[in-house]
Chain A
Amino acid sequence: MNIRRLFLILAPYAWLLVFFLIPFAIVLKIALSDYAISIPPYTPVLDLSAGWDGFKSFLSALDFENFTFLAEDALYYTAYLSSLKIAIISTFLTLLVGYPIAYGMAQAPDEWRPTLMMLVILPFWTSFLIRVYSWMSILSNEGFLNQLLMWTGLTDSSIQILNTNTAVYIGIVYTYLPFMVLPIYSALEKLDGSLIEAAEDLGCSRIQAFWLVTFPLSRPGVIAGSFLVFIPALGEFVIPSLLGGSSTLMIGKVLFEEFFNNRDWPVASAVAVVLLLILIIPIVLFQRNEQKQREADQ
């Protein structure tokens, strides 16, 4: 094996080592440490000048106390479950909104597709925070949505939307919609139109042809899109803290509060490690889906 190939193979691993594995090891170490009123706010601190004995005493000071704490306190456990619920529901809602968009794009005439694709990606050109703030002004009690509802006479008084879970769902669906639309679109776009004609020729109605041919063949895109929405939505912090209310419990928000409000780095790190462990399952499933797709394409 020549040096160039070796370099090409090693480069991504080196990247992973420096930017994922080492930071993760540091977070894991902090999670195993104890809270302390000092700088940094935890103990023990690794001091290599003390030699082997110093390292041994450093290791013996690490424990799983923070993880037991997480398991004992219902707050964390409820926050994880609530995050899971919000992530699952919003993934499903994003799919419901995103699939028809992707389908429409794939059905559109060729010359329209680049424009439609552009429209899907366009929101990325503005800061995410600004877009979430604008949703605040849309959803607030005096916001555009309530004004519209009252103007059309659907309601007499304004409805509380901002600072509820509904606002969080709206925010997540809006933010992650492109991640759902694009993989589904790319699956649908590859679909050979003669397959639908064949299905109709063999006795399917339009709707049957969709459920028996189009949808199963777009499933890899649906799975990929769902994971791309679910994974970041599970740890979402900005949307629940800006659009959600005090009753909105999400683990990303809890993590932020532990870290910045309580300054309890060890517990915050433990929360992050558990979150990562939970996310490993969908990530592995996602990778497997991609792998299967690649094999099928060959």
Chain B
Amino acid sequence: MDQQSANRPVFAPWNDPNEKPLIRFQNVTKKFGEFIAIDDLTLDIYRREFFALLGPSGCGKTTLMRMLAGFEKPTTGTILLDGQDIAPIPPNRRATNMMFQSYALFPHLSVWDNIAFGLKRSDMPADKIGARVEEMLRLVRLEKFAKRKPHQISGGQRQRVALARSLAKAPKLLLLDEPLGALDKKLRQDTQFELMDIQEKTGTTFVIVTHDQEEAMTVASRVAVMDHGRMIQVDTPDRIYETPNSVYVADFIGDVNIIEGTAAPKGEGMVAIAWAEGQPEIAATPAGQVAKGARVHFAIRPEKVAITTEKPEGRANAIEGAVHDIAYLGNISTYKVEVAGGRMIKAQVANDRRISRRDISWDDRVWLSFTDTAGVVLLS
């Protein structure tokens, strides 16, 4: 492990106390009338990060981005960009550029002129602009479409023009507002990788707003889960997924089973969670101390739950139930199993056999099992 990290340094400036953040939100609050869009938010974003703001609509993620672009001013608190308070700087003087959700391409200008638009407003000499536009066109592979108007190209191409336009001025910070929302799933996935590629090539700091958790997980170096103007958790995608800090985050990201129960310490750093009358307690490993008798939520991902027809040997937890429903998704199947007290627990299994050879069917008695480290214990 040590040797590996010596050879290939892991990109994690947020763990380095000497690293200076590019953006620093300090106790930022934004109110629209009585409505609090951003609530006392403090956050650091580092250079070269691909930072995702994730949350349901109305959670304040777009407001946060618009404050970075300069279209909104914080009601209280300060936002520092490179150590400088950006509140008094109007959008046209900020070293940030934004890629709009609607792309906001100028319909009366060609692709070439759209990309050149920002450069012409800068102090770049005219002869350099052409070269820079060509470079951007190459980057997004649109050389052949330079003369076209935005309505003469496809949605995916428009999205790439918007990206090229916002990158052309080489901003310190690129803001992406739901950049892939209008694309269909296949194209979106391709574009996500393209975005990551471009981010790596240009070394620009990206802040992306999205409500698509899969997208955030795919592209981001860190994900911030927001709700009601607050940061609920800011962490790397794997930690957000594996160790959510709250029921909200666990529930928001991916699929999850949440079982409520009463915890009691048991042995070395373990707890036993009583969750239903007459059922064996769930053995789990909490991150911290859990007091005896505390109400807890036990969260476990469906793919970490195994499903068998016989009671498995040597698993820390095994719960019996009946198959209520099976969702067949091609590569995987999700089994909804009814256990004691009518509670449903989902188990997800890779379909490594053909469907005709599947040995579990509706209403079968089955055993669900998982290890004592598979789930997360969340204090209520």
Contacts and interface: CB of A to CB of B under 8 A. Distances in A.
Nearest to B66: A197
B170 to A, nearest CB: 13
Given A203-B169, A213-B106, A296-B151, A198 B98 contact: yes
A203 B92 contact: yes
Contacts of B71: 197
Interface in B153-179: 165-166, 169
Interface string A182-221: 0000000000101101111111110010001100110000
Contact of B104 (A192, A212, A216, A296): A192
A195 B106 contact: yes
Given A213-B106, A217-B108, A197 B165 contact: no
A197 B91 contact: yes
B100 A198 contact: yes
Given A194-B100, A194-B102, A198-B100, A204 B121 contact: yes
A201 B108 contact: no
B92 A200 contact: yes
Contacts of A198: 98, 100, 104, 106
Given A197-B71, A197-B91, A198-B98, A203 B104 contact: no
Nearest to A297: B151
B92 A205 contact: yes
Contact of B121 (A197, A208, A216): A208
B269 interface: no
Contacts, number: 57
Interface in B91-132: 91-93, 96-98, 100-102, 104, 106-108, 117-118, 121-122
Interface string A111-132: 0000000000000000000000
B220 interface: no
Interface residues of B, number: 25
Interface core residue of B98, B104, B117 (most chain A CB under 10 Å): B104
Contacts of B93: 203
B91 A192 contact: no
A205 B121 CA distance: 9
A109 to B, nearest CB: 14
Contacts of A194: 100-102, 104
A204 B102 contact: no
Nearest to A193: B104
A199 B69 CA distance: 12
A200 B106 contact: no
B101 to A, nearest CB: 8
B121 A203 contact: yes
Contacts of B107: 217, 296
Contacts of A213: 106
A182 to B, nearest CB: 21
B83 interface: no
B207 to A, nearest CB: 14
Interface core residue of A194, A198, A212, A217 (most chain B CB under 10 Å): A198
Contacts of B69: 197, 201
B280 interface: no
B112 to A, nearest CB: 15
19 contacts: A194-B100, A194-B104, A195-B104, A195-B106, A197-B69, A197-B91, A197-B98, A197-B100, A197-B104, A201-B97, A201-B98, A202-B97, A202-B121, A202-B169, A203-B121, A204-B92, A204-B121, A212-B117, A217-B106
